[in-house]
């Protein structure tokens, strides 16, 4: 019986690690990729992101103001679930510094100005280098 190995990647066509000139889908060598069963996955919906963010906020004892969950969920749907969750900590620190116990839309807007999600960052780098990368 062969071992089961699961790769999770969203790298697209990229350089195979450990090489200097081999570009392959997902950054996985083609001879290995030929032996893989690829499972299609879908991104999180806004509702999915909202559920996870709400659970995390409750677990961390954070209070989200009106519209904050929607705004963070929108950012998570556009960027990633990880990015949406990562907005919570600096936003709560900002609210705390302002003497508030509740995260407001203003806090989230400021975090979105200060930080980029990975997709936006990658697009900006691609544009800077003279081409669009996805």
Say which residues have a Cβ less than 8 Å from residue 45's Cβ, sequence separation at least 6: 77
DSSP 2-64: PPP--------EEEPTT-SS-EEETT--HHHHTTPPPPP--PPPHHHHHHHHHHHHHHTT-EE
15 DSSP β-pair partners? 23
By percentage, how much of the chain surpasses pLDDT 90? 51
Nearest to 51 by CA among 13, 17, 7, 85: 85
Distance CA(53)–CA(70), nearest Å, equals 10
Q: Residue 117 has what DSSP assignment?
A: -
For residue range 69-125, what is the model confidence (pLDDT) as tens digits?
Answer: 999 999 999 888 999 999 999 999 999 999 999 999 999 999 988 988 878 887 888
For residue range 8-17, what is the model confidence (pLDDT) as tens digits?
Answer: 777 788 888 8
Residue 131: per-residue pLDDT: 57
């Amino acid at each position: 019986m062969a071992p089961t190995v699961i790769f999770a990647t969203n790298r697209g066509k990229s350089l195979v690690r450990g090489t200097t000139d081999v570009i392959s889908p997902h950054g996985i060598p083609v001879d290995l990729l030929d032996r893989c069963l690829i499972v299609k996955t879908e991104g999180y919906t806004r509702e999915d992101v909202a559920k996870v963010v709400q659970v995390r906020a409750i677990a961390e004892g954070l209070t989200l103001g009106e519209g904050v969950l929607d705004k963070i969920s929108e950012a998570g749907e556009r960027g990633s679930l990880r990015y949406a969750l990562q907005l919570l900590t600096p936003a709560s620190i900002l609210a705390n510094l302002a003497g508030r116990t509740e995260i407001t839309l203003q806090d989230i807007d400021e975090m979105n100005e200060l930080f980029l999600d990975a997709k936006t960052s990658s697009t900006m780098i691609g544009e800077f280098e003279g081409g669009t990368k996805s």
